[in-house]
Amino acid sequence: MVRSIYREQAGGSPFAADMAALGRRGTWESRSEAKVPAPADIAARLGITEGDLCVRTAYEFLADGKPVQLSTSWEPYALTAGTLVVLPEAGPHAGIGVVRRMAEIGVTVTRAVERPEPHQASPEEATLLGVQKGTLVQSVSCAAVGGRVRAAVRACRAGYDPNFVHCPSETTST
């Protein structure tokens, strides 16, 4: 899947913009934890050492108040520590998208890659998305790279729709 990275530069949330284009109201809830040790798979995607500290943010994306997507983002703490963008959903740059957040600390995101894969919803995913266990959902691994930016995202959407994939704006990935 190929999409322009410039969709994130218009302002606001790309998810909200995507939902508005579909005639729906897009919102989200999030919870960030700083200084979380990177597990092996995340460290490999980020190009860091297992156990290096990260900021992990869990998201629940809503369309018209109903859950449609789950996402967990990982950003190396060393990249954003001591800046106003350390927590994706807090501070003066909350919710503006990864491209604009990273620009605030002098990092230009040059490319993004999304890799969608269908899979059956796990019990936890099913509960959070309000679907039955085993329902076909779409999992997306997202990567945005630029300068020293590397982070990891895993998103899960209810239903498999190859025409709609969203890489949460609040995350840089590898």
**pLDDT at site 86:** 93
The domains found in the chain, sorted by start residue, are 5-158 (3.40.1410.10)
> Which three-class secondary structure state does DSSP give residue 9?
coil
Indicate the pLDDT class of residue 162, thresholds 50, 70 and 90: very low
pLDDT in tens, 64-81: 999 888 888 888 899 899
Residue 115, CA atoms < 13 Å, CB-side half-sphere: 9
Q: What is the 3-state secondary structure (H, E, C) of 21-65?
A: HCCCCEEEEEEEEEEEECCHHHHHHHCCCCCCEEEEEEEEEEECC
Pick from 3-12, 95-104, 139-148: least confident: 3-12
Give the whole-number percent of the chain exceeding pLDDT 70. Answer: 72
Q: 91, 78, 90: which is closest to 149 by C-alpha?
A: 78
pTM of the model: 0.75
| Contact in structure between 170 and 99 (CB atoms under 8 Å) | no
